[in-house]
Structure 1
Amino acid sequence: MKFIYLSLYLFISSVFTINAQEILSPNKKIKVIIASKKATDDSCYGQVHFKILYKNKLEYIEVMPNSPMGILREDQQFTDNLKLVNESKTKQISQKYEMICGKQKMCNNFGTEKVFKYVNSNNQPLNIAFRVYNDGVAFRYEFTNKTNSLINIVDESTTYVFPPATNRWLQSYTESYEDFFPFSDTGKTANSNNMEWGFPALFKVNNNPVWVLISEANISENNCATKLNNSKNSDEYKVNYASPRDDFKQNGIKTILPWNSQWHTLIIGELSDIVESTLITDVSEPNKLKETNWIKPGAVSWIYWANNHGSKDYEKVITYIDLAVDMKWPYFLIDWEWDAMSNGGNIIDAVNYAKSKRIKPIMWYNSGTSWLEPTPVDHLLTAEKRAKEFAWLNKIGVYGIKVDFFAGDQQDMMKYYIDILKDAAKYHIMVNFHGATVPRGWARTYPNLMTTEAVYGAEWYNNKPILTSKAAEHNTTLPFTRNVIGSMDYTPVTFSNSQHPHITSFAHELALSVVFESGFQHFADKPEAYNSLPPDPKEFLKNVPVNWDKTKLIDGYPGEKIIIARKKGNRWYLGGLNGKDELKTLKINFEFLDKGIFELKIIKDGKDDKSFDTEVMQVQKGDSLDVKCLSKGGFVAILEKLDTVKANKQN
């Protein structure tokens, strides 16, 4: 009987499936099959579906079954009424580029592209462009005809379908993207009313060793951001446009044609492929800035976390400038309420003091679009206001801005982000987006974007006690989810307590400086917490880079553990985290090293969670090392070739 049902299903599928085409990644490991399913047997129109297969050893595994595609405009739809009329030749894309911030300096946009040309039943054109990479898939919709009036694009029928029992780590959608990524194998939460999910979304496909991270990239002023919804079927994740808000009633996107959607991205492969992928920037527009030598990533001292407030108090402000001097960090962030600074000086005095110490100030701004209580508000809302403010920042000697409290993911917010980046670049000002959407590839297009929050970070020790118990698990999930798609302003490495305590070990906290990548790395604790560190961890924090030449995942699993290696110049920096509430041994496999003997200096958990233990040894490619970690513990390490170490000592 099962055979009869299967034969009938295959017969029906073959009857109603037309125009099946496939695209392979350059290394042939990923295969995408695109086909149309006819609504009726005698129709030449139907709905486009795509299927993804992944080659594991000798056979292809179905990663994503047939998944619907399509897009809707207010004037007409392009969903189940599409007919394939033409297709481009398959072409190879190979475009090398350099990133100023991020996990890898030299990148390669290397993949296979094919464009499928459809018309709907009104004979209106729609292109669907696919790119298949060695580590994933990207596709987008393109309206190629021209209009003089605005068109309203209101929805997509794009749906990502997964086999039942697929494991998933999803964040419930919030405008600030500040929540956990809890594990689920059902696609449901304890709150069954919440079935909207934010990007990125991580899946482990059924019982197969294949992972998928879904997000999107290359959003322009003519796009809104999207989210996922699986309310109709827990294994089917439909793409939804950002919801209208009270002061912006627009549904979807309004634009003239021609028009492109953003790239819908799926990073696919082993966990190392996920963590090391640069797909988000690969598909994004190249750098649009003529000069970039003024863009300098770096560590930042930050006043807010330890004081649960802004920068009103001049005397406190200068202690953080002095901290930056002591720790050799190039930047200091003057946070909210700097316009009301008193107790010995004002904002100009603070900036001048920083300059006298050769520390570069960064200043906080309220975007003026959402929570309007912290000041200064409404300095950036128009091009005229931005020009005035940025000229003033140039005059007084400020190098960057942190812009906070954005209102959502609608089209006007996407345009506002990009306008800030464009205008700030004219004045050589670097940017940190806080209370903001997740990275969308803008760091390649506008490399003055140093980092973005969009994470449930250490700031939440100020707000709720929940991070205390969940931080270790959360910290070992973020490298596989949020931090994959771009720099992450978590505000890490805290040893004292804010409003609510942390119970991760000191070595775990130290390791966050390597495990988490951010072009501006805001070290959040109070001066005395860093000044009282033992010599080895203190020296490590003085010199740890914030942007990297290369990144390698050594070992890990979401919510349990991670060992990550990042290279800068001739040195490898390792960070390891134990996400569990029990003692755990993490194994470092040194297979990633070049030939030669390396000196390894490791700083790990000591006898208790507030102490460190340091060891120095020699290792080489092929060796391995067991590192015993406390509950919620961790370690950092520096690797350098022995002959380089000796040469440096002689000099």
Structure 2
Amino acid sequence: MLFLPPARKALLLLCLCALSVLAQAQEVKSPNAQLTLRFALQNGGVPTYRLTYKGRDVIKPSKLGFELKNAPALTSGFAVADSKQRSFDESWQPVWGEVKTIRNHYNELAVTLTQAATNRTVLVRFRVFDDGLGFRYEFPRQKALDYFVVKEEQTQFALAGDHKAFWLPGDYDTQEYSTVTSKLSEVRGKMKAAVTPNASQTTFSDTGVQTPLMLKSQDGLYINLHEAALIDYSTMSLELDDKNFVLTSHLTPDALGDKGYLQTPCLSPWRTVVVSDKAADILESHLILNLNEPTKYKDVSWIKPVKYVGVWWEMITGKSTWSYTNLENIKLDSLDYSKTKPNGTHGANTAHVKEYIDFAAKHHFDAVLVEGWNTGWEDWFGKSKDYVFDFVTPYPDFDVQELHRYAASKGVKIIMHHETSGSVRNYERHMDAAYKFMVDNGYNAVKSGYVGPIIPRGEHHYGQWLNNHYLYAITKAAEYKIMVNAHEAVRPTGLARTYPNLIGNEAARGTEYEAFGGSNPDHTTILPFTRLMGGPMDYTPGIFQTQISAINPQNTSFVHSTLARQLALYVTMYSPLQMAADLPENYNKHLDAFQFIEDVAVDWDDTHVLEAEPGDYVTIARKAKGKSSWFIGSSCDEQGRTSKINLNFLDPGKKYVATIYADAKNAHYEKNPQAYTIRKVNVTSKSKLTQYCAPGGGYAISVMETTH
């Protein structure tokens, strides 16, 4: 037996303890060393992580793990079996995007955990970027954990205080709510009023909120929580402990109440934390895109950004109808449209669509969206029916072949519309035929819709089964070289990097709600910090006639925006798919302002966030793809403000002409929304601009290089 003096024995014990700590606690910093991620096992083998920014807590020690159905939990009893670190640095070019090149630079910590009592293994992978953290769970193939059912994911985000939050009610079926701005401690008291009616909605808690969740601490940290690469998994919401300010993951269940069905080897989505002491840095982050895989497609030449008009706003406002007749409570298979009197208000008729095609061609737009072209609209809303639409049969007054010929002669595409009526099974049974029909008739893009409760009944819009369907629709469309703009689908998580034919999503309260009672004036100053974090939105801006009664006298709603701000949204609400949503006759009354919509790009080489504060204002400058021209947009809330920007992003030594579309001095989103001014000024990279923004207003600027 080895004898050691007491001093040597104490030293040995100290060394052993130190080795034990090293085995249990790991640390990795961001490339610029401002962010620090620390992983540790708490007593009982409970895995935790902590994130600090410049020495300040962003996420306090927070637990990781899973509750499983009919199996021991993966929340404790772990030991660290392995720990590896690496650094990664690359640059890549998106097929379309806000910048030409994106840098993907991070330091990684991968911790392998074993649960001795069950012999199960889980790997937690952390990636720390200069702008935040991404982490996910990885389950290697193993005998002790093969097929399993998730009861709940138990990922925590323990916050450092009662932060200001920009939140939506937690819901399994819709994101189409107005954002509430409040302290976290006020969420419970404001929840009831925040839950407004929707065609399909399932809230789950008095303190449940959705991601992306934007937060601001009292000491000025901006924090954004979301997820990336949501594949074969349920969408994550967050359950708030409003006494301790701890957010815990809450997955969308299926019809049985289960949260996920997984088989090893498998991965969770990335959980993301974007953080900075500057609001503009949040908007310039590419962390979520970087956590997604590169594109799966070898040929992407058919994927192109689109600027479009459409037969849509007139139906939203109530001027026209989607349906060909006014018959209700009929069985579709018993209706002979050739013997049925049309209602006279059907928007998608051949002559009317030609008018939109003419307008698009005249103003150099790429495409025309047409909704309500196909049979079935009389027979679905408010009903739970498996089979309504077949996606290939037009109404009698919609001549598919003639419109294909006419649009092609004008150099314009028509965008297909597929309303699934929430019947996912029916859409999948018709999908190949529908996409083939599109190809045969010259359509290369589709707007899909998922209005109403999902069929199969009991499934939710954001469950694992539906998320798999959305991705199936995108990849199936790619087989036919079709681009997809999905409405009422799951909020994006950066998958457009991997599947770039996903050129747009709705997944938020869009412009249509301006015709349903309106959105708060601060709405478009919040969405860039929330909904747009995961990908572009088909927000459908460009409404010039903001009094809806001018279109439909029975609709007293109004758009909570000045006309000038409607122009700004083409820059501040990023999308490679941008609609000029108003009626052509309304644009014809303001062709001087419409010139900005005609000029503005939809794909970009560079982006600079010039000023930003969530809920108050956002000002963004973007450089058009492959050109020297820049476009600037600024949107503010109901308070109005004076914007001051520096044009130092312009090329030094070059001269430019800036055309400024701005609110007039007496403009106001309620009282005088169409009051605007247009002026031209010469500018260089040394120029500074001061511009008034009216309440609910903003401005748009086109900056063109000149040799004069």
Q: TM-score range by the shorter chain?
A: 0.7 to 0.9
2:189 matches 1:133: no
| Residue identity matched to 2:111 | F
Q: Paired residue for 1:25?
A: 30
| Residue identity matched to 1:359 | V
Q: Paired residue for 1:287?
A: 295
Shift of 1:250: 5.6
Instruction: Pick from 216, 234, 244 the counterpart of residue 224 of structure 1.
Output: 234
Structure 1 Cα separation of the partners of residues 131 and 691 of structure 2 = 30
SS in 1 for 2:250: strand
TM-score, normalization: structure 1? Answer: 0.88
Shift of 1:419: 0.8
| Residue identity matched to 2:96 | C
Structure 2 Cα separation of the partners of residues 155 and 336 of structure 1 = 41
Structure 2 Cα separation of the partners of residues 552 and 149 of structure 1 = 47
Structure 1 Cα separation of the partners of residues 398 and 370 of structure 2 = 13
- Counting only pairs closer than 5 Å after superposition, residues 333-344 of structure 1 correspond to structure 2 as 333-339=369-375, 342=395, 344=397
Cα deviations by residue, 1:263-314 (Å, 9 ceiling, x for unpaired): 1111111212110111111010110011011111111112211232435433
Structure 1 Cα separation of the partners of residues 122 and 473 of structure 2 = 32
Is the 2:94–2:102 Cα contact (8 Å) retained in structure 1?
A: yes
Instruction: Give the stretch that moved more between structures: 211-220 or 490-499.
Output: 490-499
Structure 2 Cα separation of the partners of residues 571 and 481 of structure 1 = 28
2:216 matches 1:204: yes
Q: Paired residue for 2:47?
A: 48
Is the 1:16–1:37 Cα contact (8 Å) retained in structure 2?
A: no
Q: Paired residue for 2:94?
A: 99
Instruction: Pick from 573, 578, 589 the counterpart of residue 516 of structure 1.
Output: 573
Structure 2 Cα separation of the partners of residues 572 and 424 of structure 1 = 33
Cα deviations by residue, 1:349-381 (Å, 9 ceiling, x for unpaired): 33333222221111111235x2x6xxxx86631
Is the 2:373–2:395 Cα contact (8 Å) retained in structure 1?
A: no
Is the 1:598–1:639 Cα contact (8 Å) retained in structure 2?
A: no
2:622 matches 1:566: yes
2:427 matches 1:380: yes
SS in 2 for 1:380: helix
Shift of 1:342: 5.0
| Residue identity matched to 2:637 | G
Shift of 1:457: 1.0
The verdict on how the C-alpha distance between 1:338 and 1:527 changes in structure 2, with shifts beyond 3 A counting, is farther
Q: Paired residue for 2:434?
A: 389
- Counting only pairs closer than 5 Å after superposition, residues 193-592 of structure 1 correspond to structure 2 as 194-207=206-219, 209-221=220-232, 223-231=233-241, 233=243, 235-244=245-254, 248-249=255-256, 251-269=258-276, 270-308=278-316, 309-310=321-322, 311-339=347-375, 342=395, 344-368=397-421, 370=422, 380-382=427-429, 385-405=430-450, 407=454, 408-463=461-516, 465-467=517-519, 470=520, 472-496=521-545, 497-498=547-548, 499=555, 500-535=557-592, 537-568=593-624, 569-582=627-640, 584-592=641-649
The gaps in structure 1 that reach 5 residues or longer are: 1-14, 40-45, 647-651
| Residue identity matched to 1:553 | V
TM-score, normalization: structure 2? Answer: 0.81
Q: Paired residue for 2:191?
A: 191
Is the 2:184–2:242 Cα contact (8 Å) retained in structure 1?
A: no
| Residue identity matched to 1:219 | L
Could you say which structure has the higher strand fraction? Answer: 1
Shift of 1:149: 5.9
Shift of 1:153: 2.4
Is the 1:300–1:522 Cα contact (8 Å) retained in structure 2?
A: yes
The verdict on how the C-alpha distance between 1:250 and 1:257 changes in structure 2, with shifts beyond 3 A counting, is farther
Percent identical pairs in the alignment equals 26
Is the 1:162–1:205 Cα contact (8 Å) retained in structure 2?
A: no
Structure 2 Cα separation of the partners of residues 196 and 455 of structure 1 = 17
| Residue identity matched to 1:125 | T
RMSD (Å) for aligned C-alpha atoms: 2.2
| Residue identity matched to 2:110 | V
The verdict on how the C-alpha distance between 1:150 and 1:210 changes in structure 2, with shifts beyond 3 A counting, is same
Structure 1 Cα separation of the partners of residues 662 and 541 of structure 2 = 17
Residue-pair matches, total: 600
Q: Paired residue for 1:4?
A: none
Shift of 1:95: 3.2
Structure 2 Cα separation of the partners of residues 452 and 344 of structure 1 = 29
The verdict on how the C-alpha distance between 1:283 and 1:501 changes in structure 2, with shifts beyond 3 A counting, is same
| Residue identity matched to 1:589 | N
Shift of 1:204: 1.2
Cα deviations by residue, 1:391-420 (Å, 9 ceiling, x for unpaired): 221111111111111641111111111111
Q: Paired residue for 1:12?
A: none
2:180 matches 1:182: yes
Q: Paired residue for 2:329?
A: none
Structure 2 Cα separation of the partners of residues 622 and 233 of structure 1 = 50
Instruction: Pick from 80, 105, 117 the counterpart of residue 112 of structure 2.
Output: 117
Shift of 1:231: 4.6
Structure 2 Cα separation of the partners of residues 61 and 36 of structure 1 = 21
Structure 1 Cα separation of the partners of residues 105 and 484 of structure 2 = 29
SS in 1 for 2:82: strand
Is the 2:518–2:558 Cα contact (8 Å) retained in structure 1?
A: no
Structure 2 Cα separation of the partners of residues 411 and 249 of structure 1 = 12
SS in 2 for 1:529: helix
| Residue identity matched to 1:594 | D
Shift of 1:460: 0.8
SS in 2 for 1:445: coil
Shift of 1:484: 2.5
Structure 1 Cα separation of the partners of residues 649 and 348 of structure 2 = 48
Structure 2 Cα separation of the partners of residues 622 and 237 of structure 1 = 46
Shift of 1:591: 3.3
| Residue identity matched to 2:38 | I
The gaps in structure 2 that reach 5 residues or longer are: 1-19, 193-204, 323-346, 377-393, 455-460, 549-554, 668-672
SS in 1 for 2:191: coil
Shift of 1:338: 2.8
Shift of 1:196: 1.5
Is the 1:560–1:579 Cα contact (8 Å) retained in structure 2?
A: yes
Structure 2 Cα separation of the partners of residues 325 and 275 of structure 1 = 34
SS in 1 for 2:648: helix
SS in 2 for 1:230: strand
Instruction: Give the stretch that moved more between structures: 618-627 or 152-161.
Output: 618-627
Structure 1 Cα separation of the partners of residues 375 and 22 of structure 2 = 64
Is the 1:298–1:546 Cα contact (8 Å) retained in structure 2?
A: yes
Shift of 1:579: 1.1
Structure 2 Cα separation of the partners of residues 48 and 134 of structure 1 = 24
Instruction: Give the stretch that moved more between structures: 586-595 or 280-289.
Output: 586-595
SS in 2 for 1:559: coil
